[in-house]
Amino acid sequence: MDLLQVLKKTNRVICFTIFIFSLQTNSATTNKPKPLGQLGQSTTSTRIYHKPNSKSKTLYNVKPYEYLIIKHSKEVKGYKGILLNNGTIGYIPNNHIAVLPYQVNQKQTSNSPSRQSSRNSLANYSLSYVGVPYKFGGECFQNGIDCSSFVQKLYGKIGINLPRTAAEQALVGEPINRLEHLKPGDRLYFWEKKRGIIGHTGMYLGNGYFVHSSLGKKGVSTDRIDDPKWRNLLVAARR
Protein backbone atom coordinates (compact mmCIF):
# COMPACT_ATOMS: atom_id res chain seq x y z
CA MET A 1 0.00 0.00 0.00
CA ASP A 2 1.32 3.42 -0.90
CA LEU A 3 1.87 6.41 1.39
CA LEU A 4 -0.90 8.61 2.73
CA GLN A 5 -1.36 10.53 5.98
CA VAL A 6 -2.99 9.03 9.07
CA LEU A 7 -5.60 10.58 11.32
CA LYS A 8 -4.20 12.43 14.29
CA LYS A 9 -7.02 11.86 16.73
CA THR A 10 -6.91 8.86 19.08
CA ASN A 11 -9.61 6.22 18.56
CA ARG A 12 -10.68 7.70 15.24
CA VAL A 13 -11.48 5.14 12.55
CA ILE A 14 -8.87 4.64 9.86
CA CYS A 15 -10.75 5.95 6.83
CA PHE A 16 -10.13 6.14 3.13
CA THR A 17 -8.72 9.63 2.99
CA ILE A 18 -5.81 7.84 4.62
CA PHE A 19 -4.95 4.60 2.91
CA ILE A 20 -4.34 3.17 -0.51
CA PHE A 21 -5.82 -0.27 -1.01
CA SER A 22 -4.60 -3.28 -2.92
CA LEU A 23 -7.07 -5.41 -4.92
CA GLN A 24 -6.86 -9.13 -4.33
CA THR A 25 -5.73 -10.82 -7.55
CA ASN A 26 -4.73 -14.31 -8.52
CA SER A 27 -1.28 -13.28 -9.72
CA ALA A 28 1.68 -13.91 -7.44
CA THR A 29 3.61 -10.87 -6.18
CA THR A 30 6.93 -10.47 -4.47
CA ASN A 31 7.64 -8.40 -1.36
CA LYS A 32 4.00 -8.30 -0.41
CA PRO A 33 3.13 -5.53 2.05
CA LYS A 34 1.72 -6.54 5.41
CA PRO A 35 -2.11 -6.64 5.31
CA LEU A 36 -3.99 -4.53 7.85
CA GLY A 37 -7.41 -6.02 7.17
CA GLN A 38 -10.25 -6.01 4.67
CA LEU A 39 -12.10 -3.01 3.30
CA GLY A 40 -15.61 -2.46 4.59
CA GLN A 41 -18.22 0.25 4.11
CA SER A 42 -20.94 1.28 6.54
CA THR A 43 -24.44 0.92 5.15
CA THR A 44 -26.15 3.23 7.64
CA SER A 45 -25.42 5.58 10.54
CA THR A 46 -24.06 3.41 13.34
CA ARG A 47 -21.52 3.25 16.14
CA ILE A 48 -18.24 1.51 16.85
CA TYR A 49 -18.28 0.12 20.36
CA HIS A 50 -15.50 -0.62 22.84
CA LYS A 51 -16.85 -4.15 23.24
CA PRO A 52 -19.15 -6.33 21.06
CA ASN A 53 -22.17 -5.01 22.92
CA SER A 54 -24.39 -2.04 22.06
CA LYS A 55 -24.45 -1.06 25.75
CA SER A 56 -20.68 -0.60 25.91
CA LYS A 57 -18.79 2.66 25.40
CA THR A 58 -19.11 4.31 21.98
CA LEU A 59 -15.70 4.90 20.40
CA TYR A 60 -16.84 6.48 17.16
CA ASN A 61 -20.06 7.57 15.44
CA VAL A 62 -20.03 6.26 11.87
CA LYS A 63 -21.75 8.00 8.97
CA PRO A 64 -23.39 6.12 6.08
CA TYR A 65 -20.94 4.95 3.37
CA GLU A 66 -17.87 5.52 5.53
CA TYR A 67 -14.94 3.21 4.77
CA LEU A 68 -13.54 1.03 7.55
CA ILE A 69 -10.86 -1.61 8.01
CA ILE A 70 -12.25 -4.95 9.13
CA LYS A 71 -10.16 -7.36 11.23
CA HIS A 72 -11.74 -10.75 10.57
CA SER A 73 -9.65 -12.36 13.30
CA LYS A 74 -11.45 -10.17 15.85
CA GLU A 75 -15.00 -11.03 14.83
CA VAL A 76 -17.44 -11.89 17.61
CA LYS A 77 -20.95 -13.22 17.10
CA GLY A 78 -23.01 -10.40 15.64
CA TYR A 79 -20.10 -7.94 15.42
CA LYS A 80 -17.08 -7.29 13.22
CA GLY A 81 -13.78 -6.05 14.60
CA ILE A 82 -12.75 -2.62 13.25
CA LEU A 83 -9.16 -1.35 13.30
CA LEU A 84 -8.84 2.06 14.98
CA ASN A 85 -6.12 4.65 14.44
CA ASN A 86 -4.41 3.87 17.75
CA GLY A 87 -4.11 0.19 16.82
CA THR A 88 -6.92 -1.02 19.06
CA ILE A 89 -10.08 -2.81 17.95
CA GLY A 90 -13.64 -1.59 18.14
CA TYR A 91 -16.83 -3.43 17.18
CA ILE A 92 -19.64 -2.69 14.74
CA PRO A 93 -22.84 -4.71 14.21
CA ASN A 94 -22.59 -7.10 11.27
CA ASN A 95 -25.74 -5.80 9.63
CA HIS A 96 -24.39 -2.22 9.53
CA ILE A 97 -21.34 -2.90 7.37
CA ALA A 98 -20.73 -4.33 3.89
CA VAL A 99 -17.55 -6.32 3.25
CA LEU A 100 -15.82 -5.23 0.03
CA PRO A 101 -13.42 -7.45 -1.96
CA TYR A 102 -10.28 -5.43 -1.23
CA GLN A 103 -7.41 -5.86 1.18
CA VAL A 104 -5.93 -2.86 3.01
CA ASN A 105 -2.15 -2.99 3.25
CA GLN A 106 0.48 -1.04 5.13
CA LYS A 107 1.99 1.99 3.46
CA GLN A 108 5.03 1.77 1.23
CA THR A 109 7.42 4.50 0.17
CA SER A 110 6.08 5.01 -3.36
CA ASN A 111 3.11 7.35 -3.73
CA SER A 112 2.26 7.01 -7.41
CA PRO A 113 2.49 4.40 -10.16
CA SER A 114 5.27 4.70 -12.73
CA ARG A 115 4.64 5.16 -16.45
CA GLN A 116 5.34 1.44 -16.92
CA SER A 117 2.80 0.39 -14.32
CA SER A 118 -0.15 -1.62 -15.53
CA ARG A 119 -3.69 -0.33 -15.49
CA ASN A 120 -4.25 -2.83 -12.71
CA SER A 121 -1.77 -0.88 -10.58
CA LEU A 122 -3.48 2.34 -11.59
CA ALA A 123 -6.82 0.94 -10.43
CA ASN A 124 -5.28 0.12 -7.06
CA TYR A 125 -3.70 3.55 -6.85
CA SER A 126 -6.98 5.30 -7.64
CA LEU A 127 -8.38 4.21 -4.28
CA SER A 128 -5.96 6.52 -2.50
CA TYR A 129 -8.33 9.33 -3.46
CA VAL A 130 -11.50 7.86 -1.96
CA GLY A 131 -12.96 10.59 0.21
CA VAL A 132 -11.74 13.51 -1.91
CA PRO A 133 -14.75 15.86 -2.26
CA TYR A 134 -16.72 16.24 -5.49
CA LYS A 135 -16.74 19.65 -7.16
CA PHE A 136 -18.37 20.36 -10.51
CA GLY A 137 -15.61 21.59 -12.82
CA GLY A 138 -13.06 20.86 -10.09
CA GLU A 139 -9.57 19.81 -11.08
CA CYS A 140 -7.89 19.62 -7.68
CA PHE A 141 -7.52 16.58 -5.44
CA GLN A 142 -7.17 18.87 -2.42
CA ASN A 143 -10.20 21.11 -2.94
CA GLY A 144 -12.52 18.99 -5.07
CA ILE A 145 -12.61 17.24 -8.41
CA ASP A 146 -15.25 16.13 -10.90
CA CYS A 147 -15.54 12.72 -12.53
CA SER A 148 -13.77 13.38 -15.84
CA SER A 149 -10.92 15.33 -14.28
CA PHE A 150 -10.46 12.47 -11.80
CA VAL A 151 -10.04 9.93 -14.61
CA GLN A 152 -7.95 12.33 -16.70
CA LYS A 153 -5.49 12.98 -13.87
CA LEU A 154 -5.19 9.29 -13.00
CA TYR A 155 -4.29 8.37 -16.57
CA GLY A 156 -1.89 11.30 -16.70
CA LYS A 157 0.12 9.64 -13.96
CA ILE A 158 1.02 6.83 -16.35
CA GLY A 159 1.71 9.16 -19.23
CA ILE A 160 -1.64 8.92 -21.05
CA ASN A 161 -3.21 12.27 -21.90
CA LEU A 162 -7.00 12.17 -22.06
CA PRO A 163 -9.41 14.94 -23.10
CA ARG A 164 -11.08 16.93 -20.33
CA THR A 165 -14.75 15.90 -20.63
CA ALA A 166 -16.34 12.46 -20.29
CA ALA A 167 -17.94 12.74 -23.74
CA GLU A 168 -14.54 13.41 -25.34
CA GLN A 169 -12.77 10.71 -23.35
CA ALA A 170 -15.33 8.12 -24.44
CA LEU A 171 -14.01 8.46 -28.02
CA VAL A 172 -10.42 7.63 -27.06
CA GLY A 173 -8.95 4.14 -26.65
CA GLU A 174 -9.88 0.55 -27.41
CA PRO A 175 -13.63 -0.13 -27.08
CA ILE A 176 -14.73 -2.83 -24.64
CA ASN A 177 -18.07 -4.21 -25.73
CA ARG A 178 -18.91 -6.76 -23.05
CA LEU A 179 -18.95 -6.44 -19.27
CA GLU A 180 -17.15 -9.75 -18.82
CA HIS A 181 -14.24 -8.39 -20.84
CA LEU A 182 -13.62 -5.48 -18.46
CA LYS A 183 -10.26 -5.37 -16.72
CA PRO A 184 -9.03 -3.22 -13.80
CA GLY A 185 -8.09 0.22 -15.08
CA ASP A 186 -10.63 0.29 -17.91
CA ARG A 187 -12.63 3.51 -18.21
CA LEU A 188 -16.43 3.48 -17.91
CA TYR A 189 -18.77 6.08 -19.42
CA PHE A 190 -22.35 6.79 -18.43
CA TRP A 191 -25.24 8.61 -20.08
CA GLU A 192 -26.58 11.76 -18.45
CA LYS A 193 -30.28 11.96 -19.26
CA LYS A 194 -30.70 15.60 -18.23
CA ARG A 195 -28.16 16.89 -20.77
CA GLY A 196 -28.56 14.08 -23.29
CA ILE A 197 -24.81 13.35 -23.46
CA ILE A 198 -22.17 11.10 -21.95
CA GLY A 199 -21.74 13.02 -18.74
CA HIS A 200 -20.13 10.71 -16.19
CA THR A 201 -17.09 8.47 -16.00
CA GLY A 202 -15.20 6.21 -13.64
CA MET A 203 -12.52 3.52 -13.55
CA TYR A 204 -13.20 -0.21 -13.28
CA LEU A 205 -11.51 -1.86 -10.28
CA GLY A 206 -12.35 -5.51 -10.85
CA ASN A 207 -14.75 -7.85 -9.05
CA GLY A 208 -17.70 -5.77 -10.21
CA TYR A 209 -16.60 -2.52 -8.58
CA PHE A 210 -15.62 0.84 -10.03
CA VAL A 211 -14.32 4.10 -8.55
CA HIS A 212 -15.54 7.56 -9.53
CA SER A 213 -15.98 11.10 -8.29
CA SER A 214 -19.67 11.10 -7.52
CA LEU A 215 -21.94 14.08 -6.93
CA GLY A 216 -24.46 11.78 -5.26
CA LYS A 217 -21.92 10.55 -2.73
CA LYS A 218 -20.24 13.96 -2.52
CA GLY A 219 -16.81 12.71 -3.50
CA VAL A 220 -14.62 9.92 -4.77
CA SER A 221 -16.19 6.60 -3.85
CA THR A 222 -16.80 3.07 -5.09
CA ASP A 223 -19.95 1.49 -6.52
CA ARG A 224 -20.94 -1.74 -8.20
CA ILE A 225 -21.30 -1.77 -11.96
CA ASP A 226 -24.17 -4.26 -11.71
CA ASP A 227 -26.21 -1.83 -9.62
CA PRO A 228 -29.19 -1.06 -11.94
CA LYS A 229 -28.65 2.66 -11.38
CA TRP A 230 -25.27 2.44 -13.11
CA ARG A 231 -25.74 -0.58 -15.37
CA ASN A 232 -28.67 1.07 -17.15
CA LEU A 233 -26.70 4.24 -17.80
CA LEU A 234 -23.46 2.58 -18.95
CA VAL A 235 -22.98 3.32 -22.66
CA ALA A 236 -19.24 2.87 -23.29
CA ALA A 237 -16.05 1.38 -21.90
CA ARG A 238 -12.51 2.09 -23.11
CA ARG A 239 -9.06 0.70 -22.49
* pLDDT score, position 53: 93
Residue 30 pLDDT exceeds 50: no
Q: Which residues contact 152 (CB under 8 A, 6 or more apart)?
A: 162, 163, 164, 169
Enzyme catalytic residues: 147, 200, 212
Specify the CATH number for 121-238; select among 3.40.50.20, 3.90.1720.10, 3.30.450.90, 3.30.365.10. Answer: 3.90.1720.10
The residue ranges of every structural domain in the chain are 21-105, 121-238
Q: How confident is the model at residue 5 (pLDDT cuts 50, 70, 90)?
A: very low
Domain spanning 21-105: CATH superfamily: SH3 Domains (2.30.30.40)
Tens digit of each residue's pLDDT (9 = 90 or more) over 89-100: 999 999 999 998
Tens digit of each residue's pLDDT (9 = 90 or more) over 159-186: 889 999 999 999 999 999 999 999 999 9
Q: What does pTM read for this prediction?
A: 0.56
Q: Give just the sign of the alpha carbon dihedral 72, 73, 74, 75.
A: positive
